Amino acid sequence: MNNFSYERLHSNLHYLKLNTIEELLNNYLEIAARDSKTTMEVLDYLFEQEKKHREAVAVERRMKSAVFPVKKMLEEFDFEFQSSIDKKVIEDLATLRFVHNAEN
C-alpha cells in the first residue's frame, strides 16, 4: 500500500467516524499478513470490532441516562444466596428467546 492510499484510508475512516477500525487497522493488518488472512476475514474482523464498540458505548450511554443508583449485572447475581431462584430459568429469560418466539 503506498503512502497516499494509506493516508486517504485513514482520512476516510476518520471522516466516516469509524474510529475503532482506524485504531485497530495498522496492528491488525500486520497480524493478518502474518497469518495469511483473506481480505474478507480482515474486513469482517474490523467491522465486527467497530460494531461491538458502538454497541458497548450505546449501552453505557443508556445506562448513564437512566440514572440508575447502582449498576447491577445479571452475571453478578448470587444465585447461591437466593436459592429459590432457578439460575437456568433466569439465563433462559436473559436470552429473550421468548420475545423472538412471541411467547409470554
* pLDDT (tens digit per residue) in 27-61: 999 999 999 999 999 999 999 999 999 999 999 99
Mean pLDDT to the nearest integer, 59-79 = 90
* pTM for the predicted model, two decimal places: 0.70
Domains of the chain, by residue range, sit at: 3-100
Which residue type is seen at 25? L
Question: At how many degrees (to 10) do helices 19-34 and 39-66 cross?
Answer: 150
Grid cell for residue 54: 458502538
Give residue 3's pLDDT: 85
